[in-house]
Amino acid sequence: MDNTKRYERLRERYMNGDLDRRKFLGLIGAAGLAYGLHTPFARYAHAAVEEVRFDGWGGVVSEAFREYAFEPYTKETGINVVDGTFGGADEYLARVKASQPGEYNIAHLSGVFDYARYHNLGLSSTLNEDNIPNLQYVIPKLVDVFRGVTDGKLSCVPYDYGTTGLAYNRKHISDEEMKEKGARILIDEKLKGKIGGWSDWRTRIWYASLQTDQDPNNATDMDAVWEAIRTHRDLALKYWGSGAELMSLLAEEEIYVTEGWSGRIYALQEQGHDIGYMDPPNGFGWQECLFVIKGSPMEACEELLNFMLAPETSIAVAEGQNYPPALDPTKVDLGAKIPTLPAFDPTGKLAGLTFANPDYWNSHEQEWSKTFGRIQKGY
């Protein structure tokens, strides 16, 4: 009882502002370890973490996270957010698989198929949703697809969504030509040397499926798909590997057309570049999540996720990175800018977006990624 009273006194001092969070958690943690106690406040011993690592896509996206989420979170909690970046999902997954438990904590993953990949590799965690009350503001459809992968539980929270559509320089390609040619503009002989593309096997197969009039989630003629990918490779100036490189290639007019991420293209438009953007029929819709990797300090991660889902934080990040937030527009007033972003759905139902089927894509990953790798090298 004496020790319990000690915890209560410490907590009272913390709540009164006499102790900052870091010192409070440190005292609780030290006492808990010293006495091996199980008190109503023992959970704070495990919460005494100094930092959480977050890895994302870099560029304007990471800048928005840093300015509007990480720095305010650190100021409020005293927990530092180590901000790492990656250029591609496969590259980052390789890092995580080679790491020690707890080395990587939260990842900004793209697509339900990546979520399923991590879960199938035993890298998922289980969030205590009671610690994330702001999850109530998220579009239900975005949450439910993740629950379906992990038996009703969550290892992530949805955070934003967008499309990988067609970006084109209006000085050289008209809106009318884009509407006429759609995805086939990427294999147009007259644009040889002025075409770009992302070096991601899924995106290449998705667009090759469109170019051969097939369902991207159920292509039946893969020979035609591979041939379209080879044609694109031979006509392209280069594959780009990051959002920053995508923006640079278009801004410097090294390329006139490529598929591109909707938020990055909006950023170019904001900068004054005459870049058009369109989503062809069955264009690539995606959602991104904040995934907590197994072995992470869960309560600190949950606190950060809840902070990031707070409407004021989520809206500020969305406006900074130019992707609609996962917040339900029927529950939250998203302001003036977000409704103007590409892919934004005012209904919150997202019925107009085509998402990748995780079972279909993950079942072919090993074979297709290797085949694309050979094509990328010129075979």
Q: What is the DSSP string of 124-179?
A: B----GGG-GGGGGB-HHHHHHHHHHTTT--SEEEEEEEEEEEEEETTTS-HHHHH
Does the CA dihedral 41-45-46-51 come out positive or negative?
A: positive
Position 274 scores a pLDDT of 98
Position 33 scores a pLDDT of 35
Cα-trace Rg, the chain: 23
Position 179 scores a pLDDT of 97
Position 19 scores a pLDDT of 58
Among 153, 66, 68, 74, which residue's Cα sits nearest to residue 115? 153
**pTM tops 0.85:** no
Position 42 scores a pLDDT of 39
> Based on the number of CB atoms within 10 Å of its own CB, is 144 exposed (0-12), middle (13-18) or buried (19 or more)?
exposed
Give ∠ CA 354-95-286 in degrees, rounded to 5.
10
Which three-class secondary structure state does DSSP give residue 91? helix
**Domains plus CATH for the chain?**
2-46 (no CATH), 53-161+286-352 (3.40.190.10), 162-283+357-376 (3.40.190.10)
Q: Do 160 and 288 touch, CB atoms closer than 8 A?
A: yes
Number of helices and strands in the chain (H, E): 16, 10
Position 60 scores a pLDDT of 80
Q: What is the pLDDT of residues 103-141, one digit of tens each?
A: 999 999 988 999 999 999 999 999 999 999 999 999 999
Among 124, 66, 126, 98, which residue's Cα sits nearest to residue 313? 66
Q: Give the residue ranges of the chain where pLDDT is below 50.
A: 1, 21, 25-26, 28-46
Q: What is the pLDDT of residues 287-343, one digit of tens each?
A: 999 999 999 999 999 999 999 999 999 999 999 999 999 999 999 999 999 999 999
Q: How far is CA 89 from CA 57, 117, 274, 307, in A?
A: 9, 11, 30, 25
Contact partners, residue 245, CB within 8 Å, separation at least 6 = none
The three-state DSSP-derived secondary structure of 231-286 is: HHHHHEEEEECCHHHHHHHHHCCCCCEEEEEHHHHHHHHHCCCCEEEECCCCCEEE
Q: End-to-end distance of the chain based on CA atoms, in angstroms?
A: 73
Which three-class secondary structure state does DSSP give residue 198? strand
- Rounded to 5 degrees, what are φ and ψ at 80? -80, 140
